[in-house]
Amino acid sequence: MKNYFITSSESSKEEFTNLLQETTKAITDAFTDDRAYSGPTPLELKKLIKQSTILPKKGMGWSEVLNSLKQKVLPNLLKTSSTDYMPHLHSPSLIETIASELIISTFNQSMDSWDQSPVATEIEVDVINHLCSLYGYNHKADGVFTSGGSQSNQTAIILARDWFCNEILHWDVKKFGLPQNFSKLRMYTSEISHFSMEKSAHVLGLGYQSVVKVPVDESRRMDIQKLKELIQKDKENGNIPFLVIGTIGTTDFGSIDPIKEISRIAKENSMWFHADAAYGSGLILSQKYKDRIKGIDNCDSITVDFHKMFSMPISCSTVLIKDAADFNALTIHADYLNREEDEEDGYTNLVDKSLQTTRRFDALKVWVSFQVRGQDGWNTIINTIVENAHYLYQKLIRNKDFEVITEPEISSVVFRYKTGENTDELNKKARRTLLHEYGVVVGQTVADNKVFLKFTLLNPLITHKKIDELVDFISLLFSRLK
């Protein structure tokens, strides 16, 4: 290739345009059917992509590498836009957000300081302000984009810990590190909450022992009475409750913990209340179903993922904070980056509230897509997703061959085929058969010590007719595999 970058030169513009046109054609040509996966096993893929080196002595040039991509890679990538893809909280990408990704990558802004991302900084600030308003926060609130739900949750846990130590224990963690009695700090979360809670506790030096898992009820929601009992028991044992985390859409079931009740308990015990709404946050855009997360504005912080229900490319997440002052826990000044005199003159340096330094301009995807689709478009998308899950649930509970865990609150349906012996193995075998022989990708999990399959219906292109066909096909497959 003649050029390194796209610049103002006509040669670079032409080469860039040609490269993108060739790439676009290669991508669209890869969509040859509606299968979500082409089928190769891990061993077959390893053999397919194996080569002596990926760094040859002499460059191969773009054309040869593109040919390799077309033969080995593109045909075997998962097609998340396929209506046969439904295993995880892993959505298809709206077309306008893919275009946004091109802009993000081409201009390569870094969101840590204003002079690395002038208009990008102002857009992120504006998007955050609108999001705070959308979720019911007032002008005192703030937020920041992150790499995903795990980092959003970790950020919230850090802020909760520092707030509690400062305000309740009168100890400055930022200056002096953890207090002497840090091993007694306790956070409470559903027994089926995301693993990022334990991971964050480990990273923060609190250990897994600090994470108290609260049992769930039959609907897979946090048991409020058990939460009260666990907090009281910890207090009696000399432990220090500082945080409770409500899950607004559990990973497997999409269950929504009782927000208002948890909020009341948190306030009564002078605890921070964080909402892990990485999954369920999308309900806010549905006029019909947004009441399912009513009261979310009572939370001190909220995790919102846009690469789940909002159908945006990975990665795109935020953590919203009810009181912007709590971000002070992450602020530290460096003369080479976020100079105080610049901030006094109105230059916003977003590194002041982020665990990351270098960070992508992911806010552009939200800014673009919200305007492209509007309230009406998003209302249709979210309603379709939720109602597809309800339709599937109703179909499965009427079929005596299937067992279903719980009625979905968002878009996840966990079920299994019932048979006499080796039921777990049969369901496992069916999932792999669907994956490798038919290109249909469904999820698998364990509930009540039994293996279940899972449909995570994030694709609004899925119709009731498609659901009927899938259920009928899977029923026939199970009959064949028995």
Using one digit for the tens of pLDDT, what is the confidence trace for 358-409?
999 999 999 999 999 999 999 999 999 999 999 999 999 999 999 999 999 9
Q: Could you tell me if 74 and 27 are in contact, meaning their C-beta atoms sit under 8 angstroms apart?
A: yes
pTM: 0.95
Query: Within a 13 Å sphere around the CA of 244, how many CA atoms are in the beta-carbon half?
Result: 29
Parts of the chain with a pLDDT under 70: 333-339, 341
pLDDT number for residue 337:
65
pLDDT number for residue 419:
81
Length of the chain: 482
pLDDT number for residue 146:
97
How buried is 382 (Cβ within 10 angstroms: 0-12 exposed, 13-18 middle, 19+ buried)? buried
Phi, psi of 254 (to 5 degrees): 70, 20
CA-CA-CA-CA dihedral for 82, 84, 85, 91, to nearest 10: 50
pLDDT number for residue 363:
98
CA 441-446-452 angle, 5° bins: 50
Phi, psi of 443 (to 5 degrees): -90, 165
DSSP letters for 365-417: HHHHHHHHHHHHHHHHHHHHHHHHHHHHHHHHHT-TTEEE----SSSEEEEEE
Residue with token string 């899977």 = 474
Q: Could you tell me if 293 and 283 are in contact, meaning their C-beta atoms sit under 8 angstroms apart?
A: yes
Q: Could you tell me if 84 and 440 are in contact, meaning their C-beta atoms sit under 8 angstroms apart?
A: yes
pLDDT number for residue 338:
63
| Pairwise CA distance, residues 392 & 300, whole Å | 35
pLDDT number for residue 335:
62
Residues 6+ apart with CB under 8 A from 154: 196, 199, 200, 203, 204, 355
| Pairwise CA distance, residues 414 & 321, whole Å | 32
| β-bridge pairing 441-447 and 450-456 | antiparallel
Smallest CA-to-CA distance from 151 within 399, 355, 407, 448 is with: 355
Q: Distances in Å between the alpha carbon of 379 and those of 187, 250, 304, 384, 455? A: 35, 22, 17, 8, 22
Smallest CA-to-CA distance from 404 within 449, 452, 441 is with: 452
| β-bridge pairing 402-404 and 185-190 | unpaired
pLDDT number for residue 336:
58
